Structure 1
Amino acid sequence: MAPALLDPAPVAAPAPAAHLKQDLSNLAKSPLQRTYIGNKEGTIHMEGVPQFDDPYKKREWVKEQLAIGFQYWGKEGYAEGLSGHITVRDPVMPDHYWMNPVGVHFSAITTRNLVLVSPDGFVHPDGAQLPINSAGIMIHSAIHEARPDVQVAAHCHSLHGKAWSVFGKPIDIMTQDACLFHDNLAVYESFGGIVLAPEEGANIAAALGPKKNAAILQNHGLLTLGHESVAEAVYLFQSLERLCKVQLLVEAAAANGLKKKVIDDEDAAFTAATLQNPHTIYANFRPEMDLLKFERGHLFL
């Protein structure tokens, strides 16, 4: 008689791992230093935003950063006709700012065709003598006036940012990268047409409030700010653009029954304390800047 087959003994499911809650108490005080390990002697460092004693040297660095930022936008396909602008305060005359000329493709912008804008919104003789975008002046001048802490403002009509903006909602904090925007993202829930009146620029600045560094402009696009460098605003912009794409993909999957999980506020705040630092953001974007210099360095002169 053949032996009877026995049912295998049930195997207990492993207990779920406890949710680890981290804190900053035992970590480096510098957010950038938390992101890398050097040697024991402490002589290997990752550099943050460079500092300048000479405002004229800083001006040249700022203009190169601005040209790199635009060429990166060109590489990413953000160009959209006459739309899109980045402004950065001039280190020599801080009530003036540098800006791209209207009608020049992002990929073709160099330090030589950047325009210096005076406080009254007109082209200054010290920069390129080219026209500038009217809507850009209305938006950026209001932001620079309302936020003296901000050096840079960046706005254009990127594909996924435009698509998500039609919902008039923020993105969900669903991934580590999204923690860049934890308590750091506004939504301007209005669209009054192309921005040709100063009141609309003031409304956008008010929506950002005193501390947020990014905004979704309903039915319009994205806007980001930088405190220390053009790289900061450009990195925040490309991150928000990609996260809008992630959000659209997730919403499509969720519509078919998959449940999305967002990061809780405590974990998001812990991650944001490192990711949102201007020096960490600069270091995150530096590989893209170095690659562009390698590929097209002659175009920045």
Structure 2
Amino acid sequence: MTSARRTPQQERDHRRLQLLIALRAFAQAGFDEGAGGHITARDPLRPDHFWINPFGRHFGHVRVEDLLLVDREGAVVEGSGKVNPAGYAIHSRIHRARPEVVAAAHTHSVYGRAFSSLGRPLDPLTQDACAFFEDHVVHHEYGGVVLDGDEGTRIARTLGGNKAVILANHGLLTVGGSVEEAAWWFLAMDRCCQAQLLAEAAGKPQLIEADAARAARELIGSPAIARLNFRPVREHVLNTAADL
């Protein structure tokens, strides 16, 4: 069933399940580290609220009933648990600035962190990297752990209308018009960071020309392709998680 055919309650249930699947996929990818990292999904019944994973829970053990619904002020209005302060500071401002964004993902993945220390965008080195060509930016201002809304606002401003932002000396953040999109862009971007780090360690990589990179982005950087690529990820999670 497509989102256009779902009732608001059915869409809420769908987004919560996809959020859970994304968290499990991130756990399988090794993106869970301590209490850091968060994925959010805008609530279709109350669009100024969003669902988020509880603070201090391993991605691989979160259940649908553990997800928290947070209001504009950061208060938990459904669910039981605490909200990661940095998660609220960043995601609340992105959801406010980008009403078309349904989901946002940020974790401290190893390759994303390593690449973020370079303070520059990804190059179009591979076909996969072209999905992000001229559709991601670098937020150069590292001001410590993001605990206030002002820094979240600055990140949202830097992100602009792009699908991703590299937070210098911090990591990656991706957004999408669905949970599937935001999650896939994060998974793909982290692997692109890995590929570029490996290529540059081995020698001087050859870049794809700008026109070819743009043409590739139009094909593989679309929301529909992100949702398509997330399908096998979802299938793997559903077939390996005994409780789903």
On whether the aligned pair clears a TM of 0.5, the verdict is yes
**Separation of aligned partners in 2, 1:274 and 1:189:** 29
**Separation of aligned partners in 1, 2:180 and 2:27:** 15
Please list, as runs of the form range in 1=range in 2, the aligned pairs for 1:63-212 lying within 5 A after superposition.
63-124=16-77, 127-209=78-160, 211-212=161-162
Q: 1:234: which partner in 2?
A: 183
SS in 2 for 1:270: helix
Q: Deviation of residue 93 (structure 1)?
A: 1.0
Contact 2:31 2:107 in 1 (8 A): yes
Please list, as runs of the form range in 1=range in 2, the aligned pairs for 1:11-30 lying within 5 A after superposition.
none
Q: 2:243: which partner in 1?
A: 298
**Separation of aligned partners in 1, 2:216 and 2:200:** 24
Deviations 1:38-85 (A, max 9, x none): xxxxxxxxx9x6533300011111100000000001111111111100
Contact 2:3 2:11 in 1 (8 A): no
Q: Deviation of residue 250 (structure 1)?
A: 1.1
TM-score by length of 2: 0.97
Q: Give structure 1 stretches of 5+ with no counterpart.
A: 1-46
**Separation of aligned partners in 1, 2:38 and 2:238:** 21
SS in 1 for 2:5: coil
Deviations 1:246-290 (A, max 9, x none): 111111112xxxx32111111111111121221211011101101
Structure possessing the higher radius of gyration over alpha carbons: 1
Please list, as runs of the form range in 1=range in 2, the aligned pairs for 1:212-291 lying within 5 A after superposition.
212-227=162-177, 229-254=178-203, 259-291=204-236
**Separation of aligned partners in 2, 1:52 and 1:136:** 31
Q: Aligned letter for 1:117? A: V
Q: Aligned letter for 1:163? A: A
Q: Aligned letter for 1:287? A: P
Q: Deviation of residue 160 (structure 1)?
A: 0.6
SS in 1 for 2:153: helix
Identity of aligned residues (%): 41
TM-score by length of 1: 0.79
Deviations 1:194-225 (A, max 9, x none): 0011111011111111x211011001010000
Deviations 1:89-145 (A, max 9, x none): 011111111000000000001111000001211100xx2111010000000011111
**Separation of aligned partners in 1, 2:145 and 2:41:** 22
SS in 1 for 2:16: helix
Q: Give structure 2 stretches of 5+ with no counterpart.
A: none
Q: 1:29: which partner in 2?
A: none
Give the ranges of 4+ consecutive aligned residues of structure 1 lying more than 2 Å apart after TM superposition: 49-53
SS in 2 for 1:222: strand
Kindly tell me the number of residue pairs found equivalent between the two proteins.
244
Q: Aligned letter for 2:170? A: H
